[in-house]
Amino acid sequence: MFQANIHQAKTNLSQLIQKAEAGETVIIAKAGKPCVQLTGIIKQERKAGSLKKFSHAQNTDISRILESDSDTADLFEASSL
């Protein structure tokens, strides 16, 4: 744990952020009393293929969408394009 007063925090914000990203807890104090805590954010690992359901290959057939949704079909046909 690292503690800094507000003036130090303003002057050295980049260094404090680096400490927080490295896993250290940074406390910012006002008049010697802790008031703010900085901690790093744990980044989640990305999994390959997690967006497969949004693949363009599955969603390119507009006629299939229009057949199943008459309200959308009406709006699509009424457009000036």
Contact criterion met (CB below 8 Å) for 29 and 5: yes
State pTM to two decimals.
Answer: 0.52
The per-residue pLDDT for range 54-65, each reduced to its tens digit, is 555 555 566 666
Give me the chain's average pLDDT, please. Answer: 80
What domains sit in the chain, N to C, each tagged with a CATH number? 1-40 (3.40.1620.10)
The per-residue pLDDT for range 25-50, each reduced to its tens digit, is 999 999 999 999 999 988 877 777 66
The per-residue pLDDT for range 2-28, each reduced to its tens digit, is 999 999 999 999 999 999 999 999 999
Closest CA to 20 of 42, 5, 35: 42
